[in-house]
Structures are given as structure tokens and as C-alpha cells.
């Protein structure tokens, strides 16, 4: 009888070990929708405000540098591939420069479209509803608070470009990409009007470039996650 019991215990132990080894972590998805600013009022504060918010209490990348791809699939035809690559990689470099961790790897160019859940982090293009400038989604493991994938879609509804080099009405690619890549690192949106000059402020506008450079709150946030 004792031997039978011992055998049963061993079988149960073995099956639970096999299950633990083979089960994938239950990943959760979080979505950030970046809206065009309404024009009810201009923010009156500057980018020295110290506000930042971590996503769900501090999810972050555990494996760095983060590998990601810059996609030209579905891109607006008027945008040059090199311009897209250079603007977005300047954005990831901005976050990288603000922390002691080598945060982002040199991005890879791709012609594959953005697909959430394909195991690759990608910044690319898509047709979203008017009012939405961009959407970033994160996949993370809630048990370990580890981000495992991010994907950003920039809305081709809007005209895009380099606001420093044109008088046309454009969404500045580097400006918007820096905000979206802040989400990719683990920083949340800020909505109070006093945060209006920070990169992680939740709204943007045509020809805005102030999100290209980080404010004090943005730097404090990235350094809390990845060190000085
Ligand atoms: Zn946002």
C-alpha cells in the first residue's frame, strides 16, 4: 500500500513538473491610444514638471537591449524609407541616452506589417480612425512584470513628415515615435494639463516637436525603470 502511494505521489509530482515546464506564461495585453489634441486650451507649464507614471506598477523589459523592427509596409507613399528609419531610430536613441542601460538595439528594417503577438516588436503603419494618431500595444507577463513585445501602428490617415523641415501641416514622425517608444519602455500616459510639455503627455498636435526631447518627468521615469 505504501509503495502504491509513493508511486502515485511520484507520478503526480512528475506530471506537475512537466506541466510547469511546458506551459507558456499567460501574457496580458495593454493598449495605448494616442489622440490628437483638442483645441480647448494650451498647456501653460514647462517640461520641468517631475511627473511620470509607470505602467501597472512597473512592468519593464528584463532582457535588454530591446530588439525591434521598423516597417515600411502600408507606409504613406510620399515618405522616404530612410526618413522613416532615421526618425524612429532617433526616437529610441533618445530614451537610450537617458538611462545607463543599453535599452534599444539598432533597429532592423522590415517590409513585414505590424502584427501583435508574432514575437517581434515592430513600429509601422496602418489605417486607423481619425482622431487617433498612433496605437501602441504591449504584451507582458503579469506574474514577472516582464514586457516581452511591443508594437506601434502610426495612423496613415494623417499627413506625416519632419515638422522642422516643412511649413505643411504634418504629424512629426520623431515627435510621435518618441512618445510611443516611451510606452514601449514601460511609461504610461500623462493627462493633467500641467504635464503638457512632457514627452509622455497623452495628446499631440500637428507640427509639434516638443516630445522629441525628454522633460524632467520623462527622464525620472525611465531612470526609475532602467537606472541612471
Ligand atoms: Zn500615449
Q: Above 70 in pLDDT, residue 31?
A: yes
Q: Above 50 in pLDDT, residue 161?
A: yes
- What distance in angstroms lies between residue 182's CA and the mean position of ligand 1's atoms? 8
Q: Above 60 in pLDDT, residue 132?
A: yes
pLDDT at residue 54 in the model: 92
- What distance in angstroms lies between residue 184's CA and the mean position of ligand 1's atoms? 10
Distance of CA 16 to the CA centre of its chain: 36
What percent of the chain is modeled with pLDDT above 70?
85
CA–CA separation, 12 vs 16, rounded Å?
A: 6
CA–CA separation, 37 vs 54, rounded Å?
A: 22
The dihedral built from the CA positions of residue 116, 118, 121 and 125, taken in this order, carries a sign that is: negative
**3-state SS track over 1-39:** CHHHHHHHHHHHHHHHHHHHHHCCCCCEEEEEEEEECCC
Residue 134 grid cell = 498612433
pLDDT digits (tens, 9 = 90+) for 182-211: 999 999 999 998 999 999 999 999 999 999
- What distance in angstroms lies between residue 190's CA and the mean position of ligand 1's atoms? 8
- What distance in angstroms lies between residue 127's CA and the mean position of ligand 1's atoms? 18
Q: Label residue 142 by pLDDT band (50, 70, 90).
A: very high
- What distance in angstroms lies between residue 187's CA and the mean position of ligand 1's atoms? 9
For each of the domains in the chain, give its residue range(s) and CATH number, in order of start: 26-226 (3.40.390.10)
147 forms beta bridges with: 140
Amino acid at each position: 500500500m505504501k509503495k502504491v502511494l509513493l508511486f502515485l505521489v511520484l507520478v503526480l509530482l512528475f506530471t506537475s513538473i512537466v506541466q510547469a515546464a511546458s506551459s507558456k506564461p499567460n501574457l496580458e495585453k495593454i493598449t495605448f491610444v494616442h489622440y490628437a489634441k483638442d483645441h480647448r486650451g494650451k498647456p501653460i507649464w514647462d517640461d520641468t514638471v517631475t511627473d511620470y507614471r509607470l505602467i501597472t506598477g512597473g512592468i519593464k523589459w528584463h532582457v535588454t537591449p530591446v530588439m525591434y523592427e521598423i516597417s515600411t509596409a502600408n507606409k504613406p507613399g510620399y515618405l522616404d524609407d530612410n526618413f522613416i528609419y532615421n526618425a524612429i531610430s532617433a526616437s529610441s536613441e533618445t530614451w537610450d541616452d537617458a538611462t545607463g542601460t543599453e535599452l534599444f538595439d539598432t533597429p532592423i528594417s522590415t517590409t513585414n506589417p505590424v502584427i501583435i503577438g508574432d514575437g517581434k516588436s515592430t513600429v509601422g503603419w496602418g489605417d486607423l480612425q481619425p482622431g487617433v494618431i498612433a496605437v501602441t500595444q504591449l504584451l507582458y507577463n503579469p506574474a514577472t512584470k516582464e514586457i516581452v513585445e511591443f508594437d506601434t501602428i502610426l495612423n496613415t490617415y494623417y499627413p506625416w513628415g519632419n515638422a522642422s523641415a516643412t511649413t505643411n501641416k504634418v504629424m512629426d514622425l520623431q515627435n510621435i515615435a518618441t512618445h510611443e517608444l516611451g510606452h514601449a519602455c514601460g511609461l504610461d500616459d500623462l493627462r493633467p494639463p500641467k504635464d503638457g510639455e512632457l514627452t509622455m503627455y497623452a495628446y499631440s498636435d500637428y507640427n509639434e516637436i516638443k516630445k522629441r526631447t525628454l522633460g524632467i518627468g520623462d527622464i525620472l521615469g525611465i531612470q526609475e525603470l532602467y537606472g541612471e
